[in-house]
Amino acid sequence: MSAKAATVAIIGRPNVGKSTLFNRVVGAHAAIVDERPGSTRDRHYGKAEWNGRVFWLVDTGGFLPRSTEPMDAAIRSQVQLAVDAADVVLFLVDVETGPMPGDQEIVEYVRTRGKPVVLAANKADDLAREKRHLDFYELGLGDPLAVSAGTGKGTGDLLDAVVAVLPPAPAGEDEIQVAVIGRPNVGKSSLVNRLLGEDRLIVADTPGTTRDAIDTPLRFKARVLNFIDTAGLRKRGKIDEAVEFYAFLRTARAVERADVCVIVVDAAEGLTAMDIKIAGQAWEAGTGLVIAVNKWDLVEKDHTTADAGHKQSLERAPFLEAVPFLYLSAKTGLRAQRALDAVVEVAEARQRRIQTAEVNRAIKELVAERQPPQAGGAEVKLLYGSQIGTAPPTFAIVSSRPDAIPDHYRRFLVNGLRERFGFRGAPIRVRFTGRRRSRAKG
């Protein structure tokens, strides 16, 4: 079930500045802002903090309660889900347009939900406009607060009002950040929806439906998994619209802050060069990996198909040998729930710490199995080692000649440590250092 942290949903007509306010409050450009109405189409979550209180802030698409356009209807469904899941509704209006019929329609809707509502009149950039926020008293939602999301004016008073009506703060919880990435139309949103058990993200047959990176928390086995459903990756030369360009950058940022990346692959196409590239970048960044081969129900197969595809993938990207491959179908649910277990397993492996005595025992066994290559000059020895970090697991090994150890022997040690201690799906770092010389006394 979804995490029970306090949630605030920003709603309003298109182009009133919801994403700009979201970015102002969250403190980072976490939502796409575009001058054209309708840039935000899914719910978008971000962590916000004010006066020591942390809560989820949700940016939604433009709400048009009576529009019959298909995309407006899809957005309306998402807004309604956001409001139902929220503890507080932040209703944003526009002082430049004044009260509009669409605003009154939204008021009629939110009154049926029984949630606390904070009314904010945006674009109040100067004193003349500031007075115009009083026109919104006619909506019957109490005092309208004048704000400027663009400049930050009035946002402090607004957040004071929001925090004042939040429910009591829950106990803090550990979160696993999970970036769901892949090329367009491979089923990323469908997989996240399947795992969440509700249509939390808009899913359509047209590639590129998801343009924002959307943070969505889920409670699983006493852990909170924060799924980041990102825009589909594509070659930069094919990105024409500015909004697509920012979506590409957002995917890269999602990978940077993730603990685990779930790379969704179309079973009929297999791993592409783009999939391998982004997997390699995540691996080099120290992020855990899970490969989700989606649409497995649509592939003609026998008992050898998965093994053959896995072997072909490893030939192209040997580092993926350490990564779990899941063959599933987001549409039918086939093995989809195993993705949650895999994410937790990889996240825990990424944080695993091994006792120094066990590390040295493993190093001794590995050296006995294969001695380090001997270069010209003094003998190359591995003296002792220890784990010096996690996320990713990092080991330091003291050597008589650290600069003389080749990369292939480093890989041998990494594979040996992984075989002994697990670390499935988590990259491992091994650093070689020289023995410190003690200072002479006197």
pLDDT tens figures, 260-284: 999 999 999 999 998 898 899 899 9
Residue 383 has pLDDT above 70, yes or no: yes
Residue 438 has pLDDT above 50, yes or no: no
Report residue 377's pLDDT band, with 50, 70 and 90 as the boundaries. Answer: confident
Q: What average pLDDT score do residues 197-210 get?
A: 66
Q: Are 387 and 395 in contact (CB under 8 A)?
A: yes
Q: What average pLDDT score do residues 33-40 get?
A: 61
Q: Are 146 and 121 in contact (CB under 8 A)?
A: yes
Q: In CATH terms, is domain 175-350 a member of 1.10.3720.10? A: no
Among the listed residues 227, 249, 247, the one whose alpha carbon sits nearest the alpha carbon of residue 177 = 227
Percent of the chain predicted with pLDDT > 70: 82
Mean pLDDT over each residue of the chain, to the nearest integer: 86
437 versus 426: the higher-pLDDT residue is 426
Residue 442 has pLDDT above 60, yes or no: no
Residue type, 359: V
Residue 79 has pLDDT above 50, yes or no: yes
Instruction: Quote the tokens at residue 180.
Output: 């769901």
pLDDT in tens, 149-171: 999 999 999 999 999 999 876 55
415 versus 41: the higher-pLDDT residue is 415
In angstroms, the CA 261 to CA 337 distance is 16
* pLDDT at res. 13: 95
Query: Got the DSSP string for 246-289?
Result: HHHHHHHHHHHH-SEEEEEEETTT---HHHHHHHHHHHHTT-EE
Report residue 249's pLDDT band, with 50, 70 and 90 as the boundaries. Answer: low
* pLDDT at res. 3: 40
The domain spans of the chain are 7-164, 175-350, 356-434
Report residue 414's pLDDT band, with 50, 70 and 90 as the boundaries. Answer: very high
Residue 182 has pLDDT above 50, yes or no: yes
* pLDDT at res. 81: 83
Instruction: Quote the tokens at residue 202.
Output: 């808009």
Specify the range with the lowest mean pLDDT, choosing from 34-38, 293-297, 307-311: 34-38
In angstroms, the CA 202 to CA 210 distance is 7
Quote the Cα angle for 308-292-417, to 5°: 80
CB atoms within 10 A of CB 27: 11
Q: What average pLDDT score do residues 2-18 get?
A: 81
* pLDDT at res. 43: 60
* pLDDT at res. 233: 58
Q: What are phi and psi of 20, to 5 degrees?
A: -65, -40
**For tokens 């209703």, what's the residue?**
91
CATH class of 356-434: alpha beta
Instruction: Quote the tokens at residue 376.
Output: 């010209």
Residue 441 has pLDDT above 50, yes or no: no
pLDDT in tens, 81-132: 889 888 999 999 999 999 999 999 999 999 999 999 999 999 998 755 567 8
* pLDDT at res. 175: 85
pTM for the model: 0.66
Instruction: Quote the tokens at residue 246.
Output: 């920012």
Pick the CATH number of 7-164 from 1.10.10.410, 3.90.1720.10, 3.40.50.720, 3.40.50.300: 3.40.50.300
Residue 418 has pLDDT above 50, yes or no: yes
- As a whole number of Å, the end-to-end CA separation of the chain is 67
Percent of the chain predicted with pLDDT > 90: 59
15 CB-side CA count, 13 A: 9
Domains 175-350 and 356-434 share a fold: no
* pLDDT at res. 2: 35
In angstroms, the CA 220 to CA 208 distance is 29
Q: What average pLDDT score do residues 358-382 get?
A: 92
> In what helix (H) or strand (E) does residue 59 lie, and over which residues does it extend?
strand 53-59
Instruction: Quote the tokens at residue 63.
Output: 């709400």
Q: What are phi and psi of 300, to 5 degrees?
A: -75, 125
* pLDDT at res. 440: 41
